[in-house]
Structure 1
Amino acid sequence: MSVITINKRGLSRAIMLVAMMGGLPMAVSAQENSSADREAASAAELQQRIAELQAQVDRLAQSAQINNPEPEKKTFGETEIQIGGFVKVDSAFSQYSDGSSATASIGEDFLVPSTIPIGGEGGDTKYHSHAKASRLFIKSHTEFGTGAINTHLEIDAMAGGQGDERISNSYAQRLRHAYVDWQIDENRSLLAGQSWSTFFNVGALPEGLDFVGPVGTIFERQPQVRYSQKIGSGQIQFAAENPASTLYNGTENPYDDNATPDFVVRYNNSIGDLSYSAASMSRELAYESGTGMDDSRRGYAISLAGKLQLGRDDIRFMYSYGNALGRYLGLNSYRAGIIDADGDIELIDQHGGFVALRHFWSDQWRSNLVLSATSADNPGFVSDTTPTAYQSAQVNLMYSPVPKLSLGGEYIYAQKEIENGSGLLADDSGDLQRLQFSMKYVF
């Protein structure tokens, strides 16, 4: 965008000159007619025109100053505070093929793939409503010469362990984000605190009414230290994040016996309308038991994610693979490894992903279609009930009659499959069908 600066005094003089030139014929005419009266009238008319033009210049200058104010200069050490969030109400009708409800209550609030029941009798459609996803945050921004300090504190009531539906539906607040982000300069930053895992590209997550969405997404928030550095048109990030080991055949879930953090390296860039990220993770899986058995193994995982802009529409995608995905994939859909009979850890290859299309029907109406799947290559000695695959499909219609207000409906289908290697179980899969309606206002 080009900016044109208008000098009020110079413009006034130019207008005056043009006005005087415009009045020149009248002056010449007055001289030719040798009429003092006509000359006096012309001079008075000229002065009136100049006054009118000057008034218009003053009004234009005042309007430009109001509509295009000069940017406010930041004061060294001055802190700005921002408070925001949203209020969201969710109502859902759920139908399970192999049970009357999710195996854990959190699966009623949003899609948690591992809580889909298998092996029971299908129940009637169940209705459930809550406002736990409503969110509040406080941010601060402080300028320090070429750099700045940003902080972010955020809470909601989702997955809160306190409260029930008997009387007041009161639920405890939980911590989502709490971090300090030091913008060292325009090329470097250092973040410390709890935030989204560096392994998770949040910008690729599809827009939906469900709290998380596809079964194949990476989804993790945890304490970490992250350094970011611009390189050319891209950015590289290095992070050390809080570890935890989820293992089958263990007495704890998760184990907190790790000696090293989870290490993540991620690269972000864009090519035309495509923005993307490539992340790699190395982490330790470890356990110690009271019987003297213990072991430690190091695994890896990779993840590629991005968004392709198609005019106003977009396609979002993610694919992840590794033998240490575990709790990072699909809300801990799988554990990262298994403890064998000798007490050794055997890591499990897993992969998953999704593809999503967002389409705008008009300025107020839009839809999202999301397809997702994951699978695990479990060893032959896992139990029959160990999950081996998940699939999900979601389609929604969203309406925004005014800015920041969204109303909509979403259909969710999700399926869970288990090993049943012995063949003794009567059923080895179960599915969920859910129709969800939501209203959300961002403030």
Structure 2
Amino acid sequence: MSVKIIKSKLAGAVALAAMVNGLPALAAQSDDLASSEMTAAELQQRITELQAQVDQLAATQASSDKPVVENPEPPKTTTFGNTDIQIGGYIKLDSIFSDYSDGSAATAGIGEDFLVPSTIPIGGEGGDMHYNAHAKSTRLFFKSSTELGAGSVNTHLEIDAMAGAQGDERISNSYAQRLRHAYIDWNIDGERSLLAGQAWSTFFNVGTLPEGLDFVGPVGTVFERQPQIRYTQGLGSGKVQVAAENPATTLYNGTENPYDDNSRPDLILRYDNSIGDLNYSIASMSRELAYDHTDGGNESEQGYAISLAGKWQLGRDDLRFMYSYGNALGRYLGLNSYRGGIIDPVDGDIELIDQHGGYVALRHFWSDQWRSNLVLSATAADNPDIVSDMTPSSYQSLHLNLMYSPVPKMTLGGEYIFASKEVENLSGLLADDSGELQRLQFSVKYVF
């Protein structure tokens, strides 16, 4: 084939590719190629250049087709010497309409900002719809990563204004910041790391928490942040974590909630791994529940808990789950929905209480920008006969939302929440032993 024929066919092909990708400039280059006189070597050089441009166009097009809600870019990093610094967070507004079957509002103000199962009222008259709006969950974090001779040292400091008692809605809605995370994580060699500070409890697999607009979500989730020291070791395709975490004891019939009379930390062992598209974790916990008598004595009992959690990827969709059981779950389950045990009014001994709970959540993408989550959850406690009538016996919740991300890192959405609470009513004297909450929440969130 002659050089002229090669040039003619190449020019046509490049022009067609350019028009498909909407780049007249590249098409113009094809005309230049056809009209100019070239040697065979010059022609080969030009072919290589044009192929590189076509490859770049294809990569750009593929990148623009990615969903805007998955794997958003991390905050930009600034380097000082051998330390990288990141600053990020999000701004979020929550607008909440709540309707209670047995009251006009939650029994504690925090239950108006997000779902706190224990604050669902029981035994009253239902009130009108209650509206509340806030930006307290707005979050700011600072991260650093410093390369050293032996691995790297990472730090994480994070604050928001949620769950703080300060603030006044009369004039300025000013709320004090609270500490969420503050820890050092020494990545020793890629297989080993040591974390020290306040972080998510090792007992809680935060990666399986469903996506929702409510600040926490289902009643059956483990949810805890606390000071700890944690060692992580790679093991085959997975990893093992061992942690000693700050203890606290919550007991029925007590004068304090919580008691801070423990003599040893909560000890947690966790294993993470994956099988195909399923990522999972198995965690066990041994913890002491203790309190000091007013006469100076001390009572304590050793309890346990286990938790299985995972995320199963179903193409773009995913299924998330968690199930926890034990006689020392207490404050770890459902934002302290139950206390860990009860003080016997006769001899002062601690009786532990078996409790369990969990959730299953399905996330479905309707398109690149639209997605929904359906979350079903429940918990229950096997309370002894010595508890009071108002002691919670079970909780249930349902979350259903629709989220829209018109641009990367921004989410607009609405969520319907139904939650219920039941109490023991062992005496049968309570006219009403259950309460329900229906809530509509609308949120706008931008991650930076």
Query: TM-score, with normalisation over the residues of structure 1?
Result: 0.85
Q: How does 1:101-120 map to 2 (within 5 A)?
A: 101-120=105-124
- Among 188, 193, 213, the alignment partner of 1:189 is 193
Q: Is the 8 A contact 2:293 2:299 kept in 1?
A: no
Q: Is the 8 A contact 1:245 1:286 kept in 2?
A: yes
Match of 1:205? 209
Corresponding position: 1:156 with 2:166: no
Q: Deviations over 1:121-141 (max 9, x none)?
A: 110000100000000000001
Match of 1:89? 93
Q: Give the number of the structure whose alpha-carbon radius of gyration is greater.
A: 1
CA distance in 1, matches of 2:171, 2:327: 46
**Aligned AA (1:320):** S
CA distance in 2, matches of 1:64, 1:138: 38
Match of 2:347? 342
Corresponding position: 1:414 with 2:419: yes
The alpha-carbon deviation at position 145 of structure 1 amounts to 4.1
**Aligned AA (2:314):** L
Match of 2:311? 307
Please list every run of 5 or more consecutive structure 1 residues that lacks an aligned counterpart in the other structure: 1-17, 23-43, 69-73
- SS across alignment from 2:357: strand
Q: Deviations over 1:384-418 (max 9, x none)?
A: 11101000001000001111110110000000000
Match of 1:431? 436
Q: How does 1:34-433 map to 2 (within 5 A)?
A: 50=41, 78-145=82-149, 147-340=151-344, 341-433=346-438
CA distance in 1, matches of 2:45, 2:331: 71
Q: Is the 8 A contact 1:94 1:127 kept in 2?
A: yes
CA distance in 1, matches of 2:223, 2:102: 26
CA distance in 2, matches of 1:318, 1:45: 70
Q: Is the 8 A contact 2:389 2:426 kept in 1?
A: yes
**Aligned AA (2:124):** G
Q: Is the 8 A contact 2:86 2:142 kept in 1?
A: yes
- SS across alignment from 2:242: strand
CA distance in 2, matches of 1:335, 1:391: 17
Go from structure 1 to structure 2 and tell me whether the alpha carbon gap of 1:75 and 1:434 turns closer, same or farther (over 3 Å shift): closer
Q: Is the 8 A contact 2:188 2:194 kept in 1?
A: yes
Go from structure 1 to structure 2 and tell me whether the alpha carbon gap of 1:57 and 1:146 turns closer, same or farther (over 3 Å shift): farther
CA distance in 2, matches of 1:60, 1:394: 51
Determine what percentage of the aligned residue pairs are the same residue.
Answer: 75
Query: TM-score, with normalisation over the residues of structure 2?
Result: 0.84
**Aligned AA (1:167):** I
Q: Deviations over 1:306-346 (max 9, x none)?
A: 01110000110000000000000000000000010211000
Q: Is the 8 A contact 1:80 1:142 kept in 2?
A: yes
Please list every run of 5 or more consecutive structure 2 residues that lacks an aligned counterpart in the other structure: 7-35, 61-77
**Aligned AA (2:243):** A
- SS across alignment from 2:167: coil
CA distance in 1, matches of 2:252, 2:80: 54
The alpha-carbon deviation at position 303 of structure 1 amounts to 0.2
Q: Is the 8 A contact 2:328 2:353 kept in 1?
A: yes
The alpha-carbon deviation at position 297 of structure 1 amounts to 0.6
**Aligned AA (1:92):** I
- SS across alignment from 1:380: coil
CA distance in 2, matches of 1:204, 1:58: 47
Q: Is the 8 A contact 2:103 2:125 kept in 1?
A: yes
**Aligned AA (1:116):** I
Number of aligned residue pairs: 397
The alpha-carbon deviation at position 62 of structure 1 amounts to 10
The alpha-carbon deviation at position 291 of structure 1 amounts to 2.9
CA distance in 1, matches of 2:309, 2:129: 36
**Aligned AA (2:175):** Y
